[in-house]
Structure 1
Amino acid sequence: MSNKLNVLFICSRNQWRSPTAEQVFRRHPALAVRSAGTASSARRQVSHLDLAWADVVIVMESKHKSRLLAEHARTLMDKPLHVLDIPDDYRFMDPELVDLLQAAVPPLLDLR
């Protein structure tokens, strides 16, 4: 059994923002991370199993939270669900996106 916190990062198409977050935090010793998208065209579409696995869900925009709650309210009922308010203005591993993620995510997860 792992003592790691399971964190699921979500954006729309799982192309740039959430995979960047997964890449940035995948080697953190306290975390197990995955990424997915809400769109039907997502590279990896979020599933009930992803949400059941997650201890914490972090979305890039409020629209992602709304969609998840509309489709998976019961699964998300007792899980922290955070909105980063990061618009779809960045490519994969964009240095500015990495900086935004490194500033925003650790305080949400109480990481040192």
Structure 2
Amino acid sequence: MSEENVPFEMKEDNINKASKALKAMGHPLRLKILCVIGQNELPVMEIVKQVGTTQSNISQHIDILREKEIITSRREGSKILCRVRDHNILTLMSAMQQTFCPTEN
């Protein structure tokens, strides 16, 4: 059997986890937030600045990403710092970037 014909692994837990992550990442603003954060840990105000919308809007989407266990956050003084929780999300984002945002030669 060629590598192209190998079916994807279909464990129910994996399907549910992938579906949950893709739903959370499916909103353009949430995907942009994740792209801005990348492998870094950033304060919410820096995310607001780079994404270019209101703090209230960003906070709502960060809450959704946190609820879906895509990002985690912690308080440091008066700042809330956010980072991507699971390295697999970064791997997925890298694959999406290679697929949808190929570098120009």
TM-score after normalising by structure 2: 0.31
Q: Which has the higher helix share?
A: 2
Q: Which has the higher strand share?
A: 1
| Bigger Rg, which one | 2
TM-score after normalising by structure 1: 0.29
